[in-house]
Structure 1
Amino acid sequence: MNNTNPSETDFYDPPILHHGLGPGDLVRTRPVFTPQPVGASGAWQIIYTSTDSRSQLIPASGIVLIPETMAEPGSTAILLYCPSFRGLGGRCAPSQLLATGTEPDVAGIEAALEKGWVVAIPDGRGLGVGAGPHTFLAARANAKLVLDLARAVYRSANLDLDVPVAPVVAWGYADGGRVAAATGELQPWYAPEVDLRGIAAGAVVTDLAALAPAIGRGPGAGLGLAGLIGLSRAYDQLPLRHVLTDEGVLAVAEAQHLTAVELLLQYWQPLQHWCRLEDPWNDTWWRRVLALETLAHVPVEVPLHLYHGERDSLIPVQAGRKTLVAYRQRATAVSWREYDADHRATAQAAISDVLAHLAHDITSRPASSPRSAKAVGESTERTSHH
């Protein structure tokens, strides 16, 4: 592993992944000063390995934050924090936003550090070390990066972590919530050695096919275009160009470099404005991918806490309630809470409840049972043919 301290540009240059590396191996690390969040005694930007939808090894990046005071043994944890959508461009990587003091939402991270937890934040595929654009809405692709980040932290003898292989919990909101939930679905077969204890996920929709048409119009119309771009990046066999007009092709070329705020301001027109079809999602290939990205096909084997705002105008609370029902039908141990708040306010209001749920999961559950290689292989085969 290369532990040198290259320049800002060099550090995020995609490395050559040599033979012998596997998912979750550290490739490059460096300590970094973070003006935010409060409560971190140190931080490390890392580049590690993960896999894509074709199981090919790819580089990924993220950041690991060390609390000022580590929690007592039995209460300590590694929190895999799955951030909400920040944008499609590489400069939207959380590992870079935190280092420059421009990350827009640090309250949850600070609260976790205050509890004495290590906080590990993946940049997401396409951000940071990625060639871009970010694979927005592709929960399963990004869940692999989350689990491989946990593996990387386990193997991080050089990060000054005074913690053994600790219990792991995952938390995310909105698109990050979908990634957190998918992390729970993938963990038993993709990363069975990760001691996952619990998951919290807010404003989660299981069925993208039901949500996609709605996010392509109204005040969040730019997210529809971002979704087309993100999914086409995650599933590179998707024919994106044939659903776009010539103007749409130009829009995509520019949009893939923008932040979420820029997308919403610049692409306020309905998604169909950029497309040849009135409903671009209603295409054979796209319907198939939306089906693949539907959550709750399988149970989550650890406690799952879902929450939603009753006045959420971006992701309607009815979508969250359907998510609750879907996971209960799969016999997942799932809890639920609604807040009398909109999308943004709910994210803040839920922080203390989420941490209480995750803290309970850490201390009340035994370590995950190890699985044999044969069992993992059989589960992988079943999932890949689902």
Structure 2
Amino acid sequence: MTSDFYHPPTLDGHRPGDLVRTRPVFVAQLSQARGAWQVVYVSANSRSEPIAASGIVLIPEAVAAPGTTAILVYCPGFRGLGGVCAPSQLLAIGAEPDTTAIEAALRRGWVVAIPDGEGLGIIGGGPHTFLAARAGGRVALDLARAVYRGANLGVAVAPVVAWGYADGGRAVAAAGELHPWYAPELDLCGIAAGAVASDLAALAPAFNRGEATGLGLAAMVGLSHAYEHLPLRQVLSEDGARAVEQAQHLTAAELLQQFPQPVAHWCRRPEPWNDHWWRRVLAMETLAHTRPGMPLHLYHGGLDTIVPVSAGRRTLIAYRQRGTKVDWHEYDGDHRSTAHWALSDVLARLTEDIANGPVSQPTSASADAEVRPGA
């Protein structure tokens, strides 16, 4: 399935959001898709360096009328650090684990664009930068740009909405913060984000016990790839170093099965995130640094043991303190059930955002905006 399509292209002369390569694919899992395109495009990493990224663009059977249609950038939860877990590949081979939200959006007549995320899809680009929301936000915004610019995709310019869950929720929330200076030409009018932890330190207890323990090692691998100066080797034990070499090639299911131990098990001390450099990165990756200019819809499961609801409530408070137009919906469910129960509510909120239009008129992005260093 990968063939030469996912080999990294030459990026010389390209800017973030440029569409480099496309090919049509058949997605048998989706009854509501009239067409689908795998895409390779240009984005930027946490250090503002250009990177190749990949994703998939899904065309609905019937595009909704102007004023009700949209381009939905959809960022699902964590699928893995490597292996076959990029959404653009899973959909093409009929192995996408959850198509419910995608189908529901297509049924509304929305174009759905799904980024694979930094480190997934493109050959040799991994491991995935799990929990690095700043990188995830850029990859999401640049896929929307690529859809705008991709005349061969046959997609008319329309308002953009973004929706993500867990790690994907962090990515779309960060996209809302980055939007004014990174991609102001996009008509981004609403964001829905579920199970979001603004402060990554709040996830530490879950990474050391319970069903999320296998994700602690993945978090260290993902963040250290996003920020190459992070001293991963010096906080790992010898067993931890060997585990990391293996973990960076695994899907989420494989990670949870093969590395169920607490993150402290792989480290020289029980709280590796208290290292000076790690504390700096965790602070940089905290959300609500700025106020998104569009409505933000946060939701969470009260019984979530993977991303504690207390972390989600603190995210809500942080955005409110910034003056964000934000609402909150708490469900009486766990991490997985909430993702499904929230579907109709999320679609209703984003539909209202589309009808209301952008808070301010999108502007043309300057060259400086596209290469601006920062969080």
**Shared fold, TM over 0.5:** yes
* Identity value in percent: 66
Question: Cα deviations across residues 71-130 of structure 1 (Å, max 9, x unaligned)?
Answer: 001111000001100000042100000111111111000000000000000000000015
Establish whether residue 17 from structure 1 lines up as the match of residue 22 from structure 2. Answer: no
Distance 1:16-1:86 versus aligned 2 partners, 3 A rule? same
- Return the letter of the residue paired with 1:118: V
* DSSP-derived class of the 2:231 partner: coil
Question: Cα deviations across residues 213-236 of structure 1 (Å, max 9, x unaligned)?
Answer: 432332211100000000000001
Establish whether residue 226 from structure 1 lines up as the match of residue 218 from structure 2. Answer: yes
Cα distance, 1:380 vs structure 2: 8.3
- Return the letter of the residue paired with 2:354: I
Instruction: Name 1:4's counterpart in structure 2.
Output: none
Whole-angstrom CA distance in 1 between matches of 2:209 and 2:371: 37
Match of 1:143 among 134, 137, 143: 137
Instruction: Name 1:67's counterpart in structure 2.
Output: 60
Distance 1:68-1:306 versus aligned 2 partners, 3 A rule? same
Cα distance, 1:204 vs structure 2: 0.6
Instruction: Name 1:154's counterpart in structure 2.
Output: 148
- Unmatched runs of 5 consecutive residues or more in structure 1: 1-6
Cα distance, 1:377 vs structure 2: 5.2
- Return the letter of the residue paired with 1:85: F
**Paired residues of 1:216 and 1:223 also in contact (CA < 8 A):** no
Whole-angstrom CA distance in 1 between matches of 2:369 and 2:152: 34
Q: Over aligned residue pairs, what C-alpha RMSD do you find?
A: 1.7
Establish whether residue 282 from structure 1 lines up as the match of residue 282 from structure 2. Answer: no
Instruction: Name 1:82's counterpart in structure 2.
Output: 75
Cα distance, 1:309 vs structure 2: 0.8
**Paired residues of 1:90 and 1:126 also in contact (CA < 8 A):** no
Question: Cα deviations across residues 2-26 of structure 1 (Å, max 9, x unaligned)?
Answer: xxxxx732111111222x2100101
Instruction: Name 2:313's counterpart in structure 1.
Output: 321
Cα distance, 1:366 vs structure 2: 3.9
* DSSP-derived class of the 2:293 partner: coil
**Paired residues of 2:83 and 2:251 also in contact (CA < 8 A):** no
**Paired residues of 2:76 and 2:165 also in contact (CA < 8 A):** yes
- Return the letter of the residue paired with 1:233: H
Cα distance, 1:320 vs structure 2: 1.1
Q: TM-score, normalised by structure 2?
A: 0.96
Instruction: Name 2:337's counterpart in structure 1.
Output: 345
Instruction: Name 1:183's counterpart in structure 2.
Output: 175
Matches within 5 A, 1:1-386: 8-18=2-12, 20-130=13-123, 131-161=125-155, 163=156, 165-366=157-358, 368-371=360-363, 384=374
Runs of 4+ in 1 over 3 A off after TM superposition: 370-374, 376-381
- Unmatched runs of 5 consecutive residues or more in structure 2: none
Question: Cα deviations across residues 174-199 of structure 1 (Å, max 9, x unaligned)?
Answer: 11111110010001110000100000
Cα distance, 1:53 vs structure 2: 2.1
* DSSP-derived class of the 1:228 partner: helix
Whole-angstrom CA distance in 1 between matches of 2:358 and 2:280: 38
**Paired residues of 2:182 and 2:365 also in contact (CA < 8 A):** no
Whole-angstrom CA distance in 1 between matches of 2:160 and 2:213: 35
Whole-angstrom CA distance in 2 between matches of 1:366 and 1:222: 40
Whole-angstrom CA distance in 1 between matches of 2:207 and 2:324: 28
**Paired residues of 2:185 and 2:364 also in contact (CA < 8 A):** no
* DSSP-derived class of the 1:192 partner: coil
**Paired residues of 1:216 and 1:225 also in contact (CA < 8 A):** no
* DSSP-derived class of the 1:336 partner: strand
Q: Which moved more, 1:192-201 or 1:29-38?
A: 29-38
Cα distance, 1:372 vs structure 2: 6.9
- Return the letter of the residue paired with 2:295: P
Cα distance, 1:255 vs structure 2: 0.6
Cα distance, 1:159 vs structure 2: 1.3
Question: Cα deviations across residues 223-278 of structure 1 (Å, max 9, x unaligned)?
Answer: 00000000000001111111111111110000111111111111111111111111
Whole-angstrom CA distance in 2 between matches of 1:72 and 1:307: 28
Whole-angstrom CA distance in 1 between matches of 2:56 and 2:268: 40
Count of paired positions = 374
Question: Cα deviations across residues 128-177 of structure 1 (Å, max 9, x unaligned)?
Answer: 0152100000011111000000000001111132x2x2100000011111
Whole-angstrom CA distance in 2 between matches of 1:203 and 1:312: 8
Q: Which moved more, 1:7-16 or 1:144-153?
A: 7-16
Whole-angstrom CA distance in 2 between matches of 1:373 and 1:41: 32
* DSSP-derived class of the 1:158 partner: helix
Instruction: Work out which structure has the larger RCO, using CA pairs closer than 8 Å and 6 or more positions apart in sequence.
Output: 2
Question: Cα deviations across residues 336-357 of structure 1 (Å, max 9, x unaligned)?
Answer: 1111111100000000100000
